């Protein structure tokens, strides 16, 4: 289609769900806390009544007000950047996307505040522009909960965007919603009326996948899911406390056997190597990195405390760690000597991605491990949780294990691959980068993941706007660090 243009509605068209309530719940939880999350949920029956009585715009304004009033606009932007894209992506209507992506100029229209959708729509749906409501922000940078214009002005903005040009070729939206922008288009339709069964599925450009995302909630908080989360949290905190205390008090070898009694599960595949002997140097376990607990789970499976190489975690996390840690300085020569000395003492575990990734992708592997030993055992780590993610880029990392153990049935999967043959290591003349890439590929194949060239810096620049480096001086004063963690814990529930 030459010089073709499309104006498409987001809710109920590009996204399957026409109700944006769950996205405002995400903003309430991630940008503010549990109390605002609960208040918005309590107002859901009123919002539903307004919708049934034909006053859905008033219901939407109420959602916007409760979710954003008093919240820093920078926090809303952070949630829109790091949290919302994953949930939007999972709700994409592929029939709408096929039509939308086939046009040259693509405009998205939504009643949701533009700040909440613009990044996702432009980066993942490849839209040229997005027209939505605009939040009113005071001089201090806080949202007032109000919008600048009435929702009817969206149609005027569409007209202004095409001012002096031909009409948009197609308007895609919900006729029953009375979308006023549709009248500005040459043709008006809904995806259900335009499905082309003869369209070649292999030539459709897919939306850009979401590789990095943040936030604690695993599932999109629809009213029923949100209610279940709120009811579960008190039990989850108690259960997490019991699980952590038992795990710290009892020997490591008992943990896999006791985990099922408290709802957990550790699945082991493959055969781990025996412990290092006096005649052999230690084995370097090279693991995929899913959560902060990866080396701890590996130690429980091996039934011995295997030291873990750490790239950048807080001192407080190191102090609480049930296994020894070896902090790297990021000075290559110094780090190499540290690792060599540790391997002479025994086994060692490293996660060469340098940071966690939730999606089925592996980040680029650092090649340092390949330079230091030929005794490399790849280990594919993966986990499954139901309510809460056990990783964060923006929040308190010390809370990661607590959120993991707050899940009703956390599951860890550990797959030991065979030790690399000599011909696959640097001893046979291969470069460290070739070895690292090979290990990345076989681990990705084992898990059914895809390899990427993204790094830790890429992740943190996307999610947090920094390089993700934790200061080595952080946590020197244990009392101050503990105070920060406690305050952060309570802020999650009361802010």
Q: Tell me, what DSSP letter sits at residue 323?
A: S
For residue 493, is pLDDT > 60? no
Neighbours of 463 (CB within 10 A): 20
Rounded Cα distance between 345 and 277, Å, is 9
The structure tokens listed for 87 are: 């949930």
Residue 102 and residue 172 in contact, taking contact as beta carbons nearer than 8 Å: no
Rounded Cα distance between 205 and 192, Å, is 20
Least confident of 9-18, 85-94, 166-175, 470-479: 470-479
The structure tokens listed for 312 are: 């950048």
Highest mean pLDDT among 261-270, 306-315, 331-340: 261-270
**pLDDT tens for each residue of 73-103:** 999 999 999 999 999 999 999 989 999 998 9
pLDDT given for residue 322 in this prediction: 87
- The residue-averaged pLDDT of 471-480 equals 44
Rounded Cα distance between 468 and 463, Å, is 10
**pLDDT tens for each residue of 110-134:** 999 999 999 999 999 999 999 999 9
φ, ψ of residue 310 to 5 degrees: the values are -115, 140
**pLDDT tens for each residue of 385-444:** 999 999 998 888 888 999 999 999 999 999 999 999 999 999 998 999 999 999 999 999
Residue 32 and residue 26 in contact, taking contact as beta carbons nearer than 8 Å: no
Rounded Cα distance between 376 and 419, Å, is 6
Rounded Cα distance between 344 and 276, Å, is 9
pLDDT given for residue 300 in this prediction: 92
Tell which phi-psi region holds residue 268, choosing left (phi > 0), alpha (psi between -120 and 50) or beta.
beta
Residue 188 and residue 182 in contact, taking contact as beta carbons nearer than 8 Å: yes
The structure tokens listed for 55 are: 């006053």
Beta bridge partners of 416: 379
Q: What separation in angstroms does the CA of 492 have from each of 17, 28, 450?
A: 28, 11, 34
Residue 377 and residue 275 in contact, taking contact as beta carbons nearer than 8 Å: no
What burial class does residue 439 get, using C-beta atoms within 10 Å of its C-beta: 0-12 exposed, 13-18 middle, 19+ buried?
Answer: buried
The structure tokens listed for 246 are: 């038992």
**pLDDT tens for each residue of 133-163:** 999 999 999 999 999 877 777 778 888 887 6
**pLDDT tens for each residue of 244-259:** 888 888 888 888 888 8
What burial class does residue 324 get, using C-beta atoms within 10 Å of its C-beta: 0-12 exposed, 13-18 middle, 19+ buried?
Answer: middle
pLDDT given for residue 152 in this prediction: 73
Buried b (16+ CB within 10 A) or exposed e, 101-120: bbbebbbbbbbbbbbbbbbb
**pLDDT tens for each residue of 340-388:** 999 988 899 999 998 999 999 999 999 999 999 999 999 999 999 999 9
pLDDT given for residue 311 in this prediction: 76
Buried b (16+ CB within 10 A) or exposed e, 70-100: ebbbebbbbbbbbbbbbbbbeebbebbbbbb
Q: Work out the pLDDT band at 195, boundaries 50, 70, 90.
A: low
Helix (H) or strand (E) holding 378: strand 376-384
The residues near 165 (Cβ < 8 Å, ≥ 6 apart) are none
For residue 28, is pLDDT > 50? yes
The structure tokens listed for 296 are: 């701890």
Rounded Cα distance between 211 and 364, Å, is 13
Which ranges of 250-357 would DSSP assign to H, the alpha helix? 255-258, 294-302, 315-320, 332-345
Tell which phi-psi region holds residue 439, choosing left (phi > 0), alpha (psi between -120 and 50) or beta.
alpha
Neighbours of 471 (CB within 10 A): 10
| Of 348, 331, 307, 336, the residue nearest 432 (C-alpha) | 336
Tell me if residue 157 falls in helix, strand or coil. helix
Q: Work out the pLDDT band at 49, boundaries 50, 70, 90.
A: very high
**pLDDT tens for each residue of 265-294:** 999 999 988 887 666 778 999 999 999 999
pLDDT given for residue 282 in this prediction: 84
- The residue-averaged pLDDT of 168-173 equals 86
The structure tokens listed for 101 are: 């992506």
What burial class does residue 478 get, using C-beta atoms within 10 Å of its C-beta: 0-12 exposed, 13-18 middle, 19+ buried?
Answer: exposed
């Amino acid at each position: 289609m030459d010089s073709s243009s499309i104006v498409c509605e987001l809710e109920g068209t590009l996204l399957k769900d026409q109700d944006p309530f769950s996205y405002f719940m995400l903003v309430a939880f991630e940008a503010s806390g549990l109390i605002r999350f609960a208040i918005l949920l309590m107002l859901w029956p009123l919002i539903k009544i307004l919708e049934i009585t034909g006053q859905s715009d008033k219901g939407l304004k109420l959602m916007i007000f409760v979710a954003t009033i008093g919240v820093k606009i920078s926090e809303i932007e952070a949630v829109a950047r790091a949290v919302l894209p994953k949930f939007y992506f999972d709700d994409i209507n592929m029939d709408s996307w096929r039509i939308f992506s086939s046009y040259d100029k693509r405009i998205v229209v939504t009643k949701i505040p533009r700040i909440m959708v613009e990044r996702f729509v432009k980066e993942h749906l490849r839209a040229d522009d997005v027209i939505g409501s605009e939040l009113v922000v005071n001089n201090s940078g806080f949202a007032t909960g109000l919008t600048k214009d009435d929702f009817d002005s969206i149609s005027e903005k569409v007209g202004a965007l095409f001012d002096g040009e031909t009409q948009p070729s197609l308007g895609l939206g919900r006729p029953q919603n009375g979308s006023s922008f549709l009248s500005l288009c040459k043709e008006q339709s809904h995806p259900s009326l335009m499905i082309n069964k003869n369209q070649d599925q292999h030539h459709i450009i897919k939306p850009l996948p979401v590789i990095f995302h943040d936030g604690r909630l695993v599932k999109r908080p629809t009213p029923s899911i949100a209610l279940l989360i709120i009811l579960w949290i008190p039990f989850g905190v108690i259960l997490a406390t019991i699980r952590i205390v038992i795990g710290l008090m009892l020997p490591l070898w008992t943990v896999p056997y006791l985990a099922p009694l408290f709802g957990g599960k550790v699945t082991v595949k493959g055969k781990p190597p025996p412990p290092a002997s006096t005649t052999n140097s230690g084995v370097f376990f090279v693991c995929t990195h899913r959560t902060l607990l990866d080396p701890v789970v590996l130690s429980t499976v091996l039934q011995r405390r295997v030291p873990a190489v750490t790239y950048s975690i807080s001192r407080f996390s190191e102090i609480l760690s049930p296994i020894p840690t070896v902090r790297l300085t990021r000075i290559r020569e110094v780090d190499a000597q540290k690792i060599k000395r540790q391997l002479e003492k025994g086994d060692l575990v490293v996660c060469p991605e340098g940071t966690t990734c939730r999606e089925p992708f592996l980040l680029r592997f650092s090649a340092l491990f390949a330079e230091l030993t030929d005794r490399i055992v790849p280990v594919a780590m993966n986990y499954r949780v139901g309510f809460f993610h056990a990783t964060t880029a923006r929040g308190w990392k010390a809370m990661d294990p607590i959120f993991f153990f707050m899940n009703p049935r956390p599951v860890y999967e550990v797959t030991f691959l065979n030790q690399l043959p000599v011909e696959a290591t640097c001893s046979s003349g291969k470069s460290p980068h070739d070895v690292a890439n090979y290990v990345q590929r076989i681990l990705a194949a084992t898990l059914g993941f895809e390899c990427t060239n993204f790094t830790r810096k890429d992740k943190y620049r996307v999610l947090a706007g920094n390089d993700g480096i934790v200061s080595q001086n952080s946590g020197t004063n244990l009392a101050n660090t503990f105070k920060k963690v406690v305050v952060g814990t309570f802020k999650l529930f009361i802010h």
